[in-house]
A and B are shown apart, each in its own frame.
Chain A
Amino acid sequence: METNPTYIIELLHRYFSGEANPDEITELSDWVAKDSANLKEFEETARMYQIVDKIAIDRNVDLNTEWEKLQAKVSPSQQVIYTQKHDTELKKLLWLRIVLMAAVFIFIAVAGLFVFNLFSKVETRIITASGAPVNSTLPDGTKVTLNSGTTLSFPSKFKDPKREVKLDGMAYFEVTHNELQPFFVNTENISIEVLGTSFYVNTKAAGNNVNVRVKEGIVAVYYTSRPQNVIVLNAGDSISVSKTEKSLMVPDNNIPSGAGKIVFDDQPLSQIVFQLNIIYNVHIKLASEDIANCRMTTTFENQSLDAVLNVISETLNLLVTKDGDTIIISGEGCL
């Protein structure tokens, strides 16, 4: 097996062009598995092909021609069915009349229900978290956790083509997937559109910004007045958008993983953990409800996550353990 880099690159392109034979595919698979740098190369190349192919399909596929091609396949077989079933057509007609009447009745009933639904009043619900984080479930099953000092408003029923909520503060969403009804989080002049994902939003971020960090799924962020200027985030991505900027730029730095100054002023551990999760982009869980109310007053400046967790565990006499990607804080409750 050749390992010269030019050969591999060409193998890569043969694969994505559909020209690689089974042996070459195995070779490529081995190469990708060998090194994470190879995997990254593979993934980036895959993305390039996707982007180009999507553009090519959008521009070159002629829907009318394709529809005609389908019609051509459909008609011959239909004629065949018709001639074969010619004898039973008359019998079918009688059944058809009965069935049609039934269908009309059902249709009226269903239409009535639709109209009823349409005109029933939709109220606006507002939930606010003032002291401790608040968990809630929205009408479509979406789970939301509001940090303290946050207000969320939403309709009692998501009826429109969209699901829209309005957020002021910091919240974590786990949006129920619904491909027919995208979910929008509106914050002043910035919109965040999702389809079924988990992500954090902070509308009161430092620097007069809105921060979005995606845990799972895909999220699109844009200024409400300019929806065509969109930035899309994948799992693990984050963005800090200025409320005053007019143009959505790809940021140089994302939300830094080492934070500047963090102040906790007699805050319960549940809130501290909520914020650490956003700031350090980690997943910290409390082992039990008992310790959620342990309070701390402290300031961290340019500390690493480990340093912060050390201080927390020593101050509150708690244990910090890691379970895969999750960090667990456990111990006995505080007074």
Chain B
Amino acid sequence: MNNSGHYTHLPLSEGAFEKIFKEHFKGLCFLSQRYVKDFEIAREIVQDTFLLLWEKRETIDTSKSVISYLATAVCNKSLNFLRDNRKFSKDLLIAEHLFPVSVQASSDMLVAQEIQVIIDNAIEELPEKCRQVFILNRFEQMKYHEIADKLQLSVKTVEAQMSKALHHMRIRLADYIQVLLVMMFFLKKF
């Protein structure tokens, strides 16, 4: 929208905004979590980004990709979080294929059904304590010390159980990791 108040393009409608939110919220959370490693932080970053988009909905250029705009904003906020908290390591992010930032490649990911089944089975196979620790950490977003309190364990034990669980999963997925690795699909949703 230029200064005289004329609209040079159609603004983003509420309906379109909601559609974009429902289709890309999860993918963007995943994207942010890959950087910040903490799901709650990732969720906040994505919520803030959508809020920003909402506030800009009348001025944003809808002829360009709104998804790219969102993904770029999420990546930038995520990197800023890391820097502000002194958790930014360029070398490690490079090894994780997260740096330099390439929004197309990392916005979304598809985990094939067969892989999900293998993971679920692997989780079932874990010894009781190990399974609890793993589920609380990865699926219920609890921190190590929170898990330690809840299950009456030491933090060191929690750490050991986590590495045991992931090790078991890697064994189960061994064949797949060699050939197909991470499926970094950017899916078109509309």
Interface set of A (CB-CB < 8 Å, partner B):
6, 9-10, 12-20, 22, 25-26, 28-29, 32-33, 39, 42-61, 63, 66-67, 69-70, 73-74, 77, 95, 99, 102-103, 107, 161, 177, 179-182, 195-196, 218, 220, 228-234, 237, 239, 250-251, 254
Contact = CB atoms under 8 A, between A and B. Distances in A.
A228 B5 CA distance: 50
B176 A250 contact: yes
B109 A250 contact: no
A179 B95 contact: no
Nearest to A33: B91
26 contacts: A10-B162, A13-B159, A17-B162, A18-B37, A20-B87, A25-B89, A29-B92, A43-B95, A46-B96, A51-B173, A52-B119, A52-B138, A57-B29, A61-B26, A63-B26, A67-B18, A70-B21, A73-B51, A95-B5, A179-B67, A179-B104, A179-B107, A180-B188, A195-B186, A234-B180, A250-B180
A45 B89 CA distance: 17
A6 B156 CA distance: 11
Contact of A51 (B37, B54, B105, B115): B115
A258 B122 CA distance: 36
Contacts of B163: 9-10, 12-13
B129 interface: no
A18 B141 CA distance: 11
B179 A237 contact: yes
Q: Which of A67, A77, A179 has the most CB of B within 10 A?
A: A179
Interface in B46-86: 47, 50-51, 54-55, 65, 67-68, 85-86
Contact of B22 (A22, A67, A102, A218): A67
B179 A61 contact: no
Interface string B15-28: 00010011001100
B103 to A, nearest CB: 9
Interface string B95-128: 1100000001101010111111001000000000
B177 interface: yes
Given A18-B36, A99-B6, A220-B185, A47 B177 contact: yes
Contacts of A195: 104, 185-186
Contacts of A73: 47, 51
Given A56-B139, A66-B47, A16 B37 contact: yes
Contacts of B115: 51
Contacts of A26: 89
SS class, residues of chain A in contact with chain B? helix
A56 B138 CA distance: 7
Contacts of B159: 10, 13-14
B180 A232 contact: yes
Nearest to B37: A18
Contact of A15 (B54, B92, B116): B92
B139 A60 contact: yes
Contacts of B183: 218, 220, 232
Given A18-B36, A51-B182, A251-B179, A39 B95 contact: yes
A220 B37 CA distance: 27
